[in-house]
Structure formats: structure tokens, C-alpha cells
Chain A
């Protein structure tokens, strides 16, 4: 037996170790959401292709532009000196330091122009027309009052760039991305020297960067912020870990306190807590075998599972104190109750798989496994330990005595009835809690990375009301065709007054037909450079005036023999295109922005979205979730309710008793919505699951009470004495488990915890004190008999 136990412990530790070593945190909030939703797919595409995993953004803010500029330079300098930590540091647009790099982009954009435009351009460069064009440029430079014309024409006397400017290739209102107009807010972009593979690497790397940046601006009047993908990973993973550890610890402490209050026994308490740790390790180990990443919601499983599985321990311990039979009798007796309660609870949690929210499914699976493991561990390991000799039999404790007191039961009944009445009145007066399906619920409550990103949007790139246009395809040509179609639709929508402006990737996208037609013509122009330079000189231009023309011609010559699609590839072009085009993996994605007229976004999304074309935003995600998820959830709850009713009818074989349980649950839900209205809570994507969990978990309390009433022939005081304490213990532990995630950093998870904790507390009150009263009303004959019995 000893060897078996040691072997069991070794396997357990090995499994837990293996499972725990495999699990990492996944901070992608979109992975919590239904993947079949278009908005989720579109936003996931956006994050996969345009959120750079190794890029950190440092924001620098102050009250004086000069101080902010100085601090930015100091940080950039400090970090550039750390090549083992940082691959690149970009604090100004790449073309600011290497303006010549932009010629490649100009060459590319001209190459994409229609052949007719290229024909006009080459005509202007011919020996017949070039001298007049150069003379006209000199004249315009002397008389123009247009600053762009004056600045540009000197460097581009033949108007190569002018042809692309007219086609609005680069939107005028596109922000610089490096500084606010007043210079009080600046951004530095960093790329990690090594790829950031996991959250621990991200946390360590950012801590080092934070330290160096802080050191560089020590004593300077600026505030720093850190954002971007590594900052989100570090921030959210860090708080996930903290949430998981703190909520589990708090749950264990509360469970210990409750146990101590009820039984005042140290050894059983230590054994019970050890059992809970074992349950956690086995569950985690098992979960780790099929699960690689824990989502923000999975984090909540530990405390919920501990809070729920301790119920079986309480039940076994309570029974062991009063039953004098053998261990087998104790296990058999406990098994009957545990089968019912663990069965319905695990079923409710596994039923979360039927929801389309992967985050909730993961939570459901983890807790469901935990429930089964918990029931097994308590029955197999804990039950024998309650029988060991050194646990002395104890007399009734304060709480046990309270449950034996008829005054306490009467008081409890009055309090429960008053609470129920007050919450019903609140519901009647204030109405149901509001519904909030906005993306805010997906965000952490506190995150420096989110705060810095908000500030960046506010100061540099106001994205309020903007929709992202994502166009995907298997190659450039397919994307180009879809972009053309989307562009035409957006143009029509603008003409109908549905949108203010849009910038699709089309002007920057390679036009294969044009590239094929233009390359032979433009590629041959390099041979004309000496003649054109002479023409410029004769017209009064300085020798440097031909620099741009020469560079562009040479670029065309370099591309001449390459097969389209041609993309520009130097650092300046990549910087401009990195938020417009992505060609990673098998998918090619183009990104643009659309600013709809207020109130027209929904309509626009419906009109534009089609195969491979997504028009997405976080607001639209909220709208889609609101349209789809509640309906799905209510169907799920309805289905589960039906299953539970059928199971109860089979088990109880009494329509009246099952009706009583359903009525009790209805009262619990009524009181819950009243409490939510009272405390200003709202329904959201995640705490809707509380309905499902309450149905699975909360109904146990009613079942336990009804079973007790049936077992003792309808003796209400006896039922309340025998099972009231167990329900109280179970509900307290479960509420502690859920309640402890009430301060989780993720708003959705926290709201789920709070809603469930309130619901379970109300359920326990109603099941212990009011259900027996309703039972008496439903069974007048039986209660008349039992009321004659001595208590």
C-alpha cells in the first residue's frame, strides 16, 4: 500500500510537472471570442499581420518640446549602445536621416501608374520636349506661391513625383508616427535583438529596457510609457500569473478560515488543504497534456475549482463526524451526494464547450476536469484520512450550534425573505442591469501598455470611429482585384454620404499589369540621364538638381529584368509599407482605413465585407458580439435547463419537487439581477456564463436540501440542521473561489467572479432558509405529519 501511495505521488508530481512546464499564458484577447465571427477573424488577421511581436514603443511626454526632444535623443542613444538587447532603434522617420532612400518608393509608385501616364511622362523627357519642361520648371520656381511646388520642383524638375502625388498615394492626414504636432509627445520604436518567444522573456527584456530608458532621462521632466506587443505580453501575462496565484491563495485562506470556524480542528484542516493542492496539481497536469496555453479566462480556473471541489471534502468530513459505520459506508453515502452534485456541476462547466467562446470553453474544461479529480481525490484519499485515530471526535461548534438553533433558522428565514424582497423591489424599480458588450470588457483594468497606447492614439493617431480595411488573398494579384472592388464600393459609399474618407492600400499595391507594361519603357530611361542633365544645366539648374531623376531611373534599370510583382525593399519603403502590406506565410494582406460618417459604420460593414475583405474595429466587434452571443447563450442555458429538468425528473420522480427546484432557481436569478442593478453591475460577454454556472452549481444546494427533506420524511428543522451547514460551507467556499477572481485584472473574468459569487451566496440563502418553506407549502400533508414529531 505504501509503495502504491509513493508511486501515486511520483506519477502525480511528474504529471503536474509535465503539464505545468507545457503551459504558457496567451494574452491574445481575441482567442477568448467566437472564431466564426467576421470581426474576430478580421481583427485576428490584423494582429497576426500588423502587430509586430518584437517591437516595443517607448512614449516620451513632457511640457516642453525641447525637453521631450532631448529625452528622446538620450533614450535612443542609450539603447543604440546595447546591440545585444536591441536590434534597431527608430526615433525619426528613416527618410529623415537617409532621404535618398525615398527614391526607391517614388520609382515603385511611378512604375505602378497606368501606361498612358507613363507615355505622357516619357514624352516630356524626350529631346523635343525636355528643354521646354526644364525652362518652365525654372519659371515656376520663381513665381509659384505653392510651398509644395517650390520645394519639390527644384529636386524633381521633370515632375516624376508629381504624377504620384496627384493620385493621393500617401494620405494627407496620415500622422507622422514619431511626434505630435506640438512636439510634446514623441515615440521611439525598438526591435528586440532576439525574437521574444514567451512572456518570461518579454518581462525580462522590458524590465531591462525600462531601466536603461529611465537611466537615460534621470532627473529630466518627462514621463515614459511602454507599449507594443512585447509590453502587452509582459503586462498581461504578469498580471495573469499574479491573479492566478493570489486568487488561489485567497481561496485557500478563506476555505481554511471557514473550516476553522466550523470545526476548530488543525489536522483535518491541513489534510484538507493538502488535498486541494493535490487536486490542483493533478488537474493542471492533466490539462497541460492537452492544453498548451492558458488564456486570461483559464487563469480563473484554479480558484473556482478549489472553491468547488472543497465542497466534497466538507461533505465527507461532516458525514465522518456523525456516521459510525465503516469507511466503505462513509464513501458509499458520500458518493450518492457527490455523484449528484459533481455530476451537475461538471456538466455545467463542460457545457461551456457548447458556447462559441473559446475562453469560456477552456475555463469549463479545466474546472470540469478539476471537479472530477476533486471528487475522486476526496473520496479515495480524503475519506480514509478522516478516519485516522489521531483526529479526535469533536462536539458541536459555534456554527453547528447555530444551525441547531430554531431562533437562528427563524432569523435566517426572515433575513432571506427580506433580502429576496428588497432585491426584487430593486429590480422592479431600477430595471434589469445594463448590457455592455463593448471591447472594454476584454481589457485589463490596469495596464501601463494599454495606457501608453491610448495616449499614443490620443496624441498622434486618433483612431476614434475608424474602421480597418483588411483585404486578404493567396497572392498579390488576388488582393489587387479585391482591393479594386472594395475601392469602387467605398467610392460609391462616399458618394452616398456614408463615409467621410478612406485610404485603401490600392495606390501602394503592386499593379502587375502596369508593372509589366511599364518596366521595358522606364527601364530604358537610364540611358537618357546624360542628355537630361545637360538640358537641366542649360536651363539654369544646379548640377545636384538631377539627383532624384538619376536615382529613380537607376532604380528602374535595376528592376528591369525582374519578374513582377515588384516591391520596394529598403528601410524607408519597408517602414511605410509595414502598416499597409503583409506578405508573411501563405497569406497576403493589405491594410487600409475607413472613416465612416457617424452612425453609418454598421451599414458600411454590411455592404463592404465579403470573401477576403474585412472592415473591422473594436466597436464593431462589440456590436457583433451583442448581436450573436446573447441569443446563443440563452439557447444554451435553455438547453441545459431542459437537460437538468429531465435528469431531475428521472432522479426525483416528482414533478412537484422538480418544479420547486426550478422555482428556487428562478428566484435566485431574480435576486441576482436585482443585486446587479443595486451594485451597478452590467451583463457582459463573460458574466452571462454565470447563468450557466449557477444553473449547474447553484442547483446543487437545492438538490441537497430536497434530498435531506426526503431522507428524513419531511422534517424541516432536521433537514436544515443536517444539510444547512454543509450548504453553508459549500457556498462559502465556492463564493470565495469565485469572489477571489473578482479582483482579477481582466474585467470580464472579474465580472464573472463577482456575479457568480453573489449568485451562489443568494442561492445558498434561498436553498437553506426558503426552499423548506416552499416545500412545506407544496407538501401540506407531509409537513403536517412531520411538524408533530419532536425536534
Chain B
């Protein structure tokens, strides 16, 4: 009964649906995509994030940028210029709010020990080390291939996450493995969608991208 989960359950009631059986053959695009992700040592992309929240009358859209470096460093910037930054370096995950100059820091080891889904789903990259790792953490509910584009609906196996997630949709190019869209749908009807563009794979990225510049920032303790 973590605070976030406790309150998320307050917000997103619903009942879980039983998974349909997916034929083994239709899992092939996902297996290929996971394998292709493993070949990406660096990645950067632009994106537009659209949030359709049940409690807001109108959707909210923000542009942003994303960088990744294997094995697990990433940087998400939301807003141009960035309003919030999520950055995972070697040991910790940082969440920075540029407007208020505040940040939170969480040790990666402590997060791993607590388990479960603690970030916005989809923030993690790559989604899994390999297919068995993916199969341990996600249930594939639906796969559709249309030309070069594959759309897959998946759901985490983590029971707490399933309480508030309706589905996660990933859209990728079956030939290149490049992700073109990612959507998280919550049980209360809210959804968050990232549309990617300008994706560059295995290009040089400045290592400083993954070091947080905390000059002038104040740390907030005791929050997720």
C-alpha cells in the first residue's frame, strides 16, 4: 500500500480484464523489436507528448527531446525550453523542475530493491534486456501489423501497476525497430501519448547529457 498506489487506486477504479491468448507467431515482431533495441547503443529523438487527462477539459501537448545511452542512461526533457527533466545516470534517477529550480533524487539500487513500477511507464529504455526479460514483466494482449508498422498492446504483469493501467500501446517500424509512438492508457480514461520523430540511432552523444547540472537547484526529499 504505497502512497502513490493507494491514491492512484482512488483515482482509477476498474476491474481487470482477462488476457486473450496470443498466437506464438504474432509475437515475432515484438521479439524482433526487442532484439533490435538491444543493438541500440545510443539513441536520440524529438517527441510530442499529449496528455488527455480525465480531470482536464482539454488535452495538453508539449514537445520534448529524449536521449539514451546503453546500458541504462537516459534523459527526457519535456517542453522546449525544458520545463521538466527526468535523467538517469549511473547511480540515481533525478527529476528536475526548471521553473521552481527543485529536484528529487532516488538511488537506483533503492528503487530496484522496492520493485514494482515507480516511473511513468515508457520512461524506461530499453523496455527489456531481451525477450525473456520482457515476457517476465509484460503480458502481450494484442499485436497488429500494418505494412511496416506494428502496433502492440501490452500490460505490465506487476499487480499494482495493473490496478491503474488499462493498456500500453507501442507502435514501431518492423524493419528498423524504431519506435514511432508510445501511449499509456489509464483505467480512469486518461491517456498519455508520445509521438516520436527525428530518431537517430547509434550516433555520438555528449556524455554530459546524462550528468545532471544541479547548479542553483534545491533538493526535495521524501517524494517519489
Residues of A within 8 A of B (CB): 65-66, 69-70, 93, 95-97, 99-100, 102-103, 138, 141-148, 150-152, 154-155, 157, 161, 165-166, 168-170, 172-177, 179-183, 540-542, 544-545, 548, 576
Contact = CB atoms under 8 A, between A and B. Distances in A.
Nearest to A166: B222
Contacts of A170: 1-3, 6
A542 B54 contact: yes
A97 B10 CA distance: 9
A669 B28 CA distance: 74
Contacts of B78: 143, 145
A148 B10 contact: no
B56 A542 contact: yes
A141 B19 contact: no
A152 B7 contact: yes
A542 B158 contact: no
Interface in B88-144: 95, 97, 104, 114-116, 118-120, 123
B60 to A, nearest CB: 4
B53 A141 contact: yes
Contact of A141 (B3, B51, B116): B51
17 contacts: A70-B18, A99-B13, A100-B10, A138-B56, A141-B53, A143-B79, A146-B104, A150-B51, A151-B8, A154-B54, A172-B3, A174-B1, A175-B1, A182-B159, A541-B56, A541-B57, A576-B1
A95 B18 CA distance: 21
Given A96-B163, A542-B54, A542-B56, A172 B114 contact: yes
A176 B120 contact: no
A542 B60 CA distance: 13
Given A145-B95, A174-B1, A545 B119 contact: no
Contact of A151 (B7, B19, B62, B79): B7
Contacts of A161: 7
B10 A95 contact: yes
A664 B51 CA distance: 89
B119 to A, nearest CB: 7
Contact of A145 (B53, B54, B84, B162): B84
A155 B2 contact: no
Closest 3 interchain pairs by CB?
A: A154-B55, A142-B60, A148-B4
Nearest to B79: A143
Interface in B31-82: 51, 53-58, 60, 62, 76, 78-79
B9 A95 contact: yes
A540 B53 CA distance: 11
Contact of B120 (A93, A150, A169, A181): A150
B185 interface: no
Nearest to A180: B159
Nearest to A536: B55
A495 to B, nearest CB: 15
Given A66-B19, A172-B114, A99 B55 contact: no
Contact of B6 (A102, A168, A181, A545): A102
Nearest to B53: A154
B224 interface: yes
Contacts of A146: 95, 104, 223-224
A65 B97 CA distance: 38
Nearest to A167: B222
B145 interface: no
A154 B7 CA distance: 11
B154 interface: no
A541 B55 contact: yes
A542 B11 contact: no
Contacts of A145: 76, 78, 84-86, 95, 120, 123
Interface residues of B, number: 55
A529 B159 CA distance: 36
A168 B4 CA distance: 11
Nearest to A546: B55
B16 interface: yes
A542 B116 CA distance: 31
B222 A168 contact: yes
B12 interface: yes
B83 interface: yes
Interface string B173-188: 0000000000000100
A544 B223 contact: no
B4 A155 contact: no
A155 B159 contact: no
Given A100-B10, A150-B53, 12 more contacts: A95-B10, A144-B84, A148-B3, A151-B11, A152-B4, A154-B53, A155-B10, A165-B223, A166-B223, A173-B2, A175-B1, A540-B56
Most B CB atoms within 10 A — which of A141, A151, A152, A180?
Answer: A151
A172 to B, nearest CB: 5
B209 interface: no
A541 B57 CA distance: 6
A183 B159 contact: yes
Nearest to A156: B7
A544 B159 contact: no
B201 interface: no
B172 interface: no
Given A66-B18, A544-B54, A96 B13 contact: yes
A100 B97 CA distance: 31
B109 to A, nearest CB: 14
Contacts of B104: 146
Contacts of A69: 16, 18
Contacts of A151: 4, 7-8, 11-12, 164, 186
B149 interface: no
A148 B51 contact: no
A278 B40 CA distance: 87
B64 to A, nearest CB: 10
Nearest to A175: B1
A84 B99 CA distance: 61
Nearest to B7: A152
Interface string B184-208: 0010001010000000000000000
Contacts of A576: 1
B160 interface: yes
Contacts of B2: 170, 172-174
B168 to A, nearest CB: 13
A53 B160 CA distance: 29
A143 B62 contact: yes
Contacts of B51: 141-142, 150
B11 A155 contact: yes
A542 B57 contact: yes
Contacts of A175: 1
B7 A176 contact: no
A176 B160 contact: yes
B58 to A, nearest CB: 6
Contacts of A138: 56, 60
Most A CB atoms within 10 A — which of B85, B116, B224?
Answer: B224
A576 B3 CA distance: 13
A540 B56 CA distance: 6
B224 A147 contact: yes
Contacts of B116: 181
Given A145-B84, A151-B11, A176 B56 contact: no
Contacts of B192: 150
A169 B186 CA distance: 26
A142 B62 contact: yes
Nearest to A65: B157
B56 A141 contact: yes
B83 A545 contact: no
Contact of B9 (A93, A141, A165): A93
Contacts of B158: 181-182
Contacts of A66: 18-19
Contacts of B223: 146, 148, 165-166
Most A CB atoms within 10 A — which of B6, B13, B54, B118?
Answer: B6
Contacts of B7: 102, 148, 151-152, 161, 165
A730 B186 CA distance: 77
A175 B163 CA distance: 15
A154 B191 CA distance: 13
